[in-house]
Amino acid sequence: MIAAHGSAPLNPRFVEEGARRDELREEAARLPSMLLSSAAAANAVMLGAGYFSPLSGFMSLGDALGVAENMKTESGLFWPIPVLNLSADAAAVDGAERIALRDPNRPGHPVLAIQEVKSLTRIRDEEFDFITARVFGTRDERHPGVQTFRGLGRSLVAGPVEVLDHSYFEEEFPHTFRTAASIRKEIADRGWRRVVAFQTRNPMHRAHEELCKMARDATAADGVLIHMLLGRLKEGDIPASVRETAIRRMVELYFPPNSVMVAGYGFDMLYAGPREAVLHAIFRQNAGCTHLIVGRDHAGVGDYYGPFDAQSIFDEDVPPGALEIEIYRGDHTAWSRKLERVVAMGSVEDHAPEDFILLSGTRVREMLSQGIAPPPEFTRPEIASILIEHYRQAG
């Protein structure tokens, strides 16, 4: 199976049941506490689940600046986006050697992890601006990722963590949340050797379905991992529970048996475009996938990135050998009226725009909220009914 990132063994920071876990829970009651942001809590969950291997914890300012500048930590590890524990006020843990990190997303704020404090640094304005601009490609606070990041605070708490649970993800998504190690095990159990991953934060329409099938065939993959983001999204996005239902229904009806694994991971969306696409590749390499589909506007938002910037970054900014996972570059796909099937739009030169069935995301949301199913060439009827019911209940 493909090696984990960094060619080291997978490094999940989750502490399984046993004496060490009991010791940490007892220690947590005596330690100074820090209430995490949702972003930092998601980082802790990803560290626990092994998706951030080989990292052991939250990065220092030096690592953050190095990653922002050239996608390398101070030790030389290739990494595209800083993994940080930022706080607006860290006075309660100033001077502490070890702290209890509390979960902001569950009642009572239970302890999520224990962190060894290697440094507590105040990030200067110019450093924060530099990191923001390099990671997101903009400092415009209308960008939802920038808005969230710049609201996290400037006190950076760095150091390794030992994670005690997976927050609300395991409870709310018991059939879907999976760690990197558990996906690797299932890949092995299924006997798959080549696996192509599809990242999604949205329900899957016909074009997404066909893109997965095109990538499976082009890469000669044994199976497809449809890997859902389960964390926080921007306002107006479809909740994870609805996406989960819709995706499972699509797989049940329209893919061959034992050809798709549906799983989810506990992370908040960054909307960081090209940099986030590289991070997504690391997640899937750590989960045992050999290929990742990177399509049009991957991890993007609005007009902040070009439609294929998330593909070109792998050619222009990812050093040779930095990743073992391979990228399948997906074109914009749509239903062809001429051919009566979904096609990669760039592969059919004899088509005019009116030969495709194209709907904007805004138009699709309007239709669904009005109880109108998009054309079956755009959205499978069974999926449309699930989404219409969501909008009816939300309405």
pLDDT, position 347: 85
Residues 183 and 251 in one domain: yes
Q: Which two tokens stand for residue 192?
A: 């798959």
**Residue 7: pLDDT band with limits 50, 70, 90:** confident
Q: In terms of domains, do 145 and 228 share one?
A: no
Candidates 98, 202, 249, 365; catalytic one: 202
Give the CATH number for residue 338: 3.40.50.620
Instruction: With CA atoms as reference, report the closest residue to 380 among 251, 229, 271.
Output: 251
Q: Taking 80 as the threshold, does the pLDDT of residue 325 lie above it?
A: yes
**pLDDT for residue 202:** 85
Alpha helices by DSSP H, listed for 165-308, are: 169-172, 180-190, 206-219, 240-254, 273-286
Same structural domain for residues 222 and 305? yes
- Tokens for 304, please give them: 């902040």
**Total structural domains within the chain:** 2
Residues 52 and 192 placed together within one structural domain of the fold: no
Q: Name the pLDDT band for 349 (thresholds 50, 70, 90).
A: confident
- Same domain for 87 and 184: no
Choice among 201, 216, 243, 380 that is catalytic: 201
Contact 112, 99 (CB under 8 A): no
Split at pLDDT 50, 70, 90, the class of 24 is very high
Q: Are residues 84 and 222 in the same domain?
A: no
- Segment 243-293, tens digit of pLDDT: 999 999 999 999 999 999 999 999 999 999 999 999 999 999 999 999 999
Q: What is the CATH number of the domain that holds 88?
A: 3.10.400.10
Reported as a pLDDT band with limits 50, 70 and 90, residue 201 is: confident
Regarding whether 137 and 29 lie in a shared domain, the answer is yes
Band the pLDDT of 361: cuts 50, 70, 90: confident
Classify residue 26 by burial, with Cβ atoms within 10 Å: 0-12, 13-18, 19+.
Answer: exposed
Residue 237 has pLDDT above 90, yes or no: no
pLDDT of amino acid 100: 98
Q: What is the mean pLDDT of residues 72-95?
A: 95
Query: What is the chain's mean pLDDT, rounded?
Result: 94
Least Cα distance to 256 among 231, 222, 233, 281 occurs for: 222
The pairing of beta strand 333-336 with beta strand 341-344:
antiparallel
320 and 377 in a common domain: yes
Residue 289 to residue 283: CA distance in whole angstroms: 9
Hunting for tokens 């030992």 — which residue is that?
A: 162
In this structure, the answer to whether residues 279 and 358 fall within a common structural domain is yes
- Domain boundary residue among 167, 187, 222? 167
Predicted pLDDT of residue 281:
98
Q: Are residues 234 and 87 in the same domain?
A: no
Give the predicted TM-score (pTM) of the model.
0.94
The band of 113, judged by pLDDT with boundaries at 50, 70 and 90, is: very high
- Is there a catalytic annotation at residue 258? no
Q: How confident is the model at residue 331 (pLDDT cuts 50, 70, 90)?
A: confident
| Residue that is last in its domain, among 112, 145, 167 | 167
Domain stops at, among 150, 167, 184: 167
Q: Are residues 186 and 303 in the same domain?
A: yes
Q: Percentage of the chain with pLDDT > 90?
A: 83
- 201 tagged catalytic: yes
Query: 203 preceded by cis ω (within 30°)?
Result: no
The residue range of the domain holding 386 is 174-265+271-394
The residues near 72 (Cβ < 8 Å, ≥ 6 apart) are 66, 78, 79
234 and 332 share a domain? yes
